[in-house]
Amino acid sequence: MKKLLLITIIGLTFCQSILANELPVKQLDVSPQQLEKQNKEITILVAQELSKDLPKDIDKYTKFTSIVAHGATLTYTFEINTGSKSDKSVMEKDKSRMEEAVVNGVCRSSKRFMDAQITVNYVYKSAKSKVKLFTFEINQKRCFNRFGSY
């Protein structure tokens, strides 16, 4: 499960990093409304670009199934093959470890998204039951609180 998590984070944060670096974030004197509009445009472009290759196997346990833009929020959805583990067991035993790794990975690799105040949600579902196992919301404030400076 650790290998699965590491591969997932590396792959997705790499994609985010590349796309975020390609999209210009205007630093001019702009109104909050203009910034909000720009951020919505960025999320739409990222979602459209990453959706082209979905669904995509990340490793033998994880499949990246969708990415959707909602305003200035990107929601990534994954399905996890939990093997013989029950959904309840995964929710209880794996959530905190996965959350730690996902939040750290996104905060470190998606600085441009965080600087642009784009929120990133990671949703994990069971491949068998389609039940939502956990959701992690990562935003600029959470990254700042985690690392003390951003």
pLDDT tens for each residue of 54-67: 999 999 999 999 99
Number of H helices, E strands in the chain: 5, 5
Would the pLDDT of 83 be above 50? yes
Q: Averaged over 72-76, what is the pLDDT?
A: 95
Among 124, 115, 138, residue whose Cα is nearest residue 26? 115
Q: Which residues of 66-88 are buried (b: 16+ CB within 10 A; e: fewer)?
A: ebebeebbbbbbbbbebeebebe
- Six token digits for residue 29: 């004197």
Q: Averaged over 5-29, what is the pLDDT?
A: 51
Top-level CATH class of 2-23+36-147?
Answer: alpha beta
Would the pLDDT of 132 be above 60? yes
Q: Averaged over 8-34, what is the pLDDT?
A: 56
Q: Calculate the average pLDDT of the chain.
A: 83
| pLDDT class of 28 with cuts at 50, 70, 90 | low
Quickly count: other Cβ atoms within 10 Å of residue 50's Cβ: 19
Q: Averaged over 67-77, what is the pLDDT?
A: 95
148: region left, alpha or beta (phi > 0 left; psi from -120 to 50 alpha): left
pTM above 0.85, yes or no: no
Would the pLDDT of 53 be above 80? yes
Output the pLDDT for position 18. 47
Q: Averaged over 41-58, what is the pLDDT?
A: 94
Taking the C-alpha atoms of residue 77 and residue 68, their distance in angstroms, rounded to an integer, is: 9
| pLDDT class of 101 with cuts at 50, 70, 90 | very high
Which is more confident, 132 or 149?
A: 132
